Structure 1
Amino acid sequence: MLKVERPPLAAETLARCALEREKAIAHYSKSHAEADADFSFREYKNPAIAEALEKLFHGKCAYCETVIATVQPTDIEHYRPKGGVIINSRLKKPGYYWLAADWDNLLPSCIFCNRPNRHELPEHERKRAVGKGNEFPLEDDARRVSRHDENIENEVPLILNPCGPDDPDEHLAFEPDGSVRARKIGNTTSAKGEATIRHLALQRPALRRERKKRAEYILANLKQVEQLMPQATTDVDARYFQGQILIRLHSYLQSDEPYIALTRSLIEQQHPGVLANLAAIAERARALPAPIHNPPLSLDLALKKLYRL
């Protein structure tokens, strides 16, 4: 999960959302008998919102960073659930009805983060249904708001919001085997990190496998950079080859790439300080002239030179 700055939505779309909000508030302000039927929320499905979210998150799930645009439908996820909230294992209705079409409450999600699905998880012996659904745990449930006229700032959510005040990098850390863990904050494990991993099923096997594949690319590239370091200071060919690897490493951090948080975490773990300068290093590497061999060096010879065979 990455921290993402959310831009404003088009005024016309915001106006439509505001109108539905007024209708929802009017509906749930009626007596219990009159408001017994669920309100029909529609504006969050507005194509303009879907397009804006896809652009903002580059076709990826806002939570797990898997590219979803080409392989499965994207759920428009309500960070604070609109229809009901699970409290003490029971669904309580209504949910945050006044935020159903609130731009700041909407995120694109894959179906495995957003919907409960059965997964084999490391902390459980048997498969269990996990996924955000109507879960929205708070640091202090006594401060939960249930009406549009209450101050939502009183709440401290435990599930991280990529567009919220917390930086997910401060709460989540990734390992070479594709697993994710909650970071330590002082002497305490981050409760937000733990809740986010648990409720979004971020340890599900398929996701761990995909992150592990990306981790192997990252670590292999870092190893190559290390191996070339002795020659790179004096050998122009070695420096060029090393530069190409660094450019590739930097490409894994581009906005449309999956699992950027994993990439950042591994680079910083393996070589503290490199991440902060990687963009500048890659830019200088692009300016390095390609080696010229007369006759041109064959791929076979180039590989032997690179790997010192």
Structure 2
Amino acid sequence: MMKINRNPATPDLPVYNRNRTRAPKVPPYEKERDEACNFFSDPAHFADNKKITDKKSPSFTVYKNKGLRTELIKVFGTKCAYCESDFGAVTPSDVEHFRPKNEITSGEFELKPGYYWLAGDWTNLLLSCVDCNRAREHKVANQPQTLVLGKTSQFPLADENVRVRHHESQIDLEAPSQLLIDPCEDDPEEHLEFFPDGTVRARVRNGVASPRGEASIYVYALLRHELVIKRKAALDRLDIAVTHLEKQVAFRAQLSAVVDDPVFLAQQDELVEDALAGVASMFSPQEEYLAAKRDWVRSSEAAGKFDTLREVQIEPMDLIT
């Protein structure tokens, strides 16, 4: 999971700013939000986290708007906001609500309604793959049995006493207790640490594993077997590419001592440059599993892997800065 720089300003879309021709003459987003606030905050409709009225709940449709999805693709590309897998060529994505709209599950309890006032809010919407977002059965790394994982309506807090349940309350009150990483607000690299075998764990700082990292790994199913295998394959390719670059650099250094043909040496320089470009391309924003690759670079740096490259003024740490 990588930090995503999203402009928090609501995009200039008809669903947010087009006035309706019929009363109430407000944009679809405002109409839907007002209807939801009126219905879900009515004590005659919900009690003890259960719906007690026969009236039909207002539907949420703004987040399904095609223009809105297009804007989300501009922000997230065709990569899942949580696991960084590219779903563009193989499966549809989900428009995911970071804070769930209909109900909230946390541990063994369920709350109704959910964060109804955020159902169409721009800053609450992300793009997710179905395996991160939906409840599905997965084989999990280092686990003997399959588990049903996926975010669905989960939104755990460290302290339930600060959970916001009404649209007139300040959602920021939850922030200190929030247990899920929001890639548009948080820096996931502060909370997650990836390893060459494709696995991930909560990053440990001052002897303490990040609670947000631990919760996010579980809720987003970031240790599902197929995902771990794909991450490892990406890291293996990176390792091969860097090793190839190191060999090209070492060979070019050897040639300098025995060859004085400038044309031939220039050709060898081009091979080094091509190998370097191949490594750099693996860190393009649209590439999968950038967070894992960045941790691979950090661990390789700590192991002294890049000494050969530095001898010719190639700085591998530039890949992550």
* TM > 0.5 fold call: yes
Deviation per CA, 1:167-207, whole angstroms, max 9, x where unpaired? 11111121111111211122111111111111111111111
Query: What is the CA–CA distance in structure 2 between the aligned matches of 1:28 and 1:148, rounded to whole Å?
Result: 9
214, 221, 227: which one aligns with 1:207: 227
Corresponding residue for 2:152? 133
Query: What is the CA–CA distance in structure 2 between the aligned matches of 1:210 and 1:124, rounded to whole Å?
Result: 18
112, 135, 153: which one aligns with 2:131: 112
Question: Does the Cα contact within 8 Å between 1:115 and 1:131 map onto a contact in 2?
Answer: yes
5+ unaligned residues in a row in structure 2: which ranges?
18-27, 46-51, 257-264, 307-314
Alignment of 1:140-151 (within 5 A): 140-151=159-170
Query: What is the CA–CA distance in structure 2 between the aligned matches of 1:223 and 1:275, rounded to whole Å?
Result: 12
Relative to structure 1, the CA distance from residue 162 to residue 35 in structure 2 (aligned partners, 3 Å threshold; closer, same or farther) is farther
My pick for the range that moved more, 120-129 or 97-106, is 120-129
Query: What is the CA–CA distance in structure 1 between the aligned matches of 2:88 and 2:180, rounded to whole Å?
Result: 23
Relative to structure 1, the CA distance from residue 114 to residue 279 in structure 2 (aligned partners, 3 Å threshold; closer, same or farther) is closer
- Tell me which amino acid in the other structure corresponds to 1:250: A
25, 35, 44: which one aligns with 2:37: 25
Alignment of 1:8-157 (within 5 A): 8=9, 9-15=11-17, 16-30=28-42, 31-32=44-45, 33-34=52-53, 37-122=56-141, 124-156=143-175, 157=178
Corresponding residue for 1:298? none
Corresponding residue for 1:258? 288
Corresponding residue for 1:161? 182
- SS of structure 2 residue aligned to 1:107: strand
Tell me how many residue pairs correspond in the alignment. Answer: 279
Query: What is the CA–CA distance in structure 2 between the aligned matches of 1:201 and 1:261, rounded to whole Å?
Result: 16
5+ unaligned residues in a row in structure 1: which ranges?
281-309
Query: What is the CA–CA distance in structure 2 between the aligned matches of 1:88 and 1:196, rounded to whole Å?
Result: 13
Corresponding residue for 1:2? 2
- Tell me which amino acid in the other structure corresponds to 2:15: T
Question: Does the Cα contact within 8 Å between 1:264 and 1:275 map onto a contact in 2?
Answer: no
Instruction: After TM superposition, give the deviation of residue 276 of structure 1 in Å.
Output: 4.3
Report the aligned-residue RMSD. Answer: 2.1
- Tell me which amino acid in the other structure corresponds to 1:219: D
- SS of structure 1 residue aligned to 2:34: helix
Q: TM-score, normalised by structure 1?
A: 0.84
Corresponding residue for 1:307? none
My pick for the range that moved more, 152-161 or 198-207, is 152-161
Question: Does the Cα contact within 8 Å between 1:27 and 1:35 map onto a contact in 2?
Answer: no
Instruction: After TM superposition, give the deviation of residue 81 of structure 1 in Å.
Output: 0.4
Query: What is the CA–CA distance in structure 1 between the aligned matches of 2:267 and 2:157, rounded to whole Å?
Result: 56
Deviation per CA, 1:45-86, whole angstroms, max 9, x where unpaired? 000111111121111111111111221111110000000001
Query: What is the CA–CA distance in structure 2 between the aligned matches of 1:238 and 1:270, rounded to whole Å?
Result: 26
1:271 is the counterpart of 2:262: no
- Tell me which amino acid in the other structure corresponds to 1:135: Q
- SS of structure 2 residue aligned to 1:14: helix
Relative to structure 1, the CA distance from residue 180 to residue 251 in structure 2 (aligned partners, 3 Å threshold; closer, same or farther) is same
Deviation per CA, 1:95-152, whole angstroms, max 9, x where unpaired? 0000000000001111100001111223533111000011111122211111101111
- SS of structure 2 residue aligned to 1:118: strand
Q: TM-score, normalised by structure 2?
A: 0.81
